[in-house]
Amino acid sequence: MFDLSSKVIIVTGGGAGIGKAISCSVAALGATTVIADINMDVAGAVVEELTALGLRATAIETDVSRSASVENLVNKVIKDFGKLDVMINNAGILGDAEIVDITDEDWKRFNSVNLDGVFYCCREAVRAMKTRGSGRIISIASVGGKLAFPFAGVYYCAAKGAVMALTRQLAIQVAKYGIQVNAVAPGTTQTEMVKHRSPEKMDYIYSRIPMGRLAKPEEIAAPVVFLASDAAGFITGETFDPNGGLYMA
């Protein structure tokens, strides 16, 4: 079992879906868990669940698409807890519109959350971590960033592919500061984000996955926990692929 009891960890979008699973997983292993979410109702509910179990968790309202909001998040964490050990960039939005139906505003909105938000969080995390000579940054990408998939919009896939490129390049730049940067690219996961899809689309997705099912959020949280732990001390610039064997199909 991994011990995260000495870690201060931020989870963006940590109030629901994969983010909630990550928040609960790292908190259960002892981390001081900061749930950074634009929706304080869901974030607050998770904090209540965790504190009721005697775990350490707090919520900070954060809009990752705004650099000032991210700067405020990291500054408050440093003020309240004295350090930041792990930044987990999970906040994101999913869309599957055809390119001819994507407006300029749609394109900007998806990139502002899915890519700009990761950049802002990485930048503030590096600023906080480099003087300490250690830290971890873990970003949630997607199979859509690597694999052509008919039910994900180009605005989503382009941003997620860029997150993986950002991960590799940033890992090279900050290794000298003792900061490790990795990503996790989940396959389709059982969350509210995919419930709008029709049975026909879901049947197609199942048919593409050798294991024949979607991931559970906890199964995506597991490699994130590993990357946040001391066991991953010699891993950087990598993207982990929990996808039920999708790349083999």
**What is the dihedral angle through the alpha carbons of 191, 140, 112, 196, rounded to the nearest 10 degrees?**
-20
Within 10 angstroms of residue 239's Cβ, the number of other Cβ atoms is 17
Match 């003792």 to its residue by tokens: 178
Q: Which two tokens stand for residue 234?
A: 């010699």
**121 neighbors 166 (Cβ within 8 angstroms):** no
CA-based angle 42:45:46, to the nearest 5? 90
Alpha-carbon separation of residue 193 from 16, 64, 95, 136 (angstroms): 10, 18, 9, 27
Nearest to 91 by CA among 141, 130, 57: 141
Which of 155, 177, 206, 247 is catalytic? The answer is 155
Half-sphere exposure of 149 (CA within 13 A, CB side): 30
Active site residue 155: yes
Within 10 angstroms of residue 71's Cβ, the number of other Cβ atoms is 14
C-alpha 31/C-alpha 7 separation (Å) is 5
C-alpha 30/C-alpha 131 separation (Å) is 24
C-alpha 26/C-alpha 11 separation (Å) is 9
Q: Which two tokens stand for residue 21?
A: 């699973």
Q: Which residues participate in catalysis according to the annotation?
A: 155
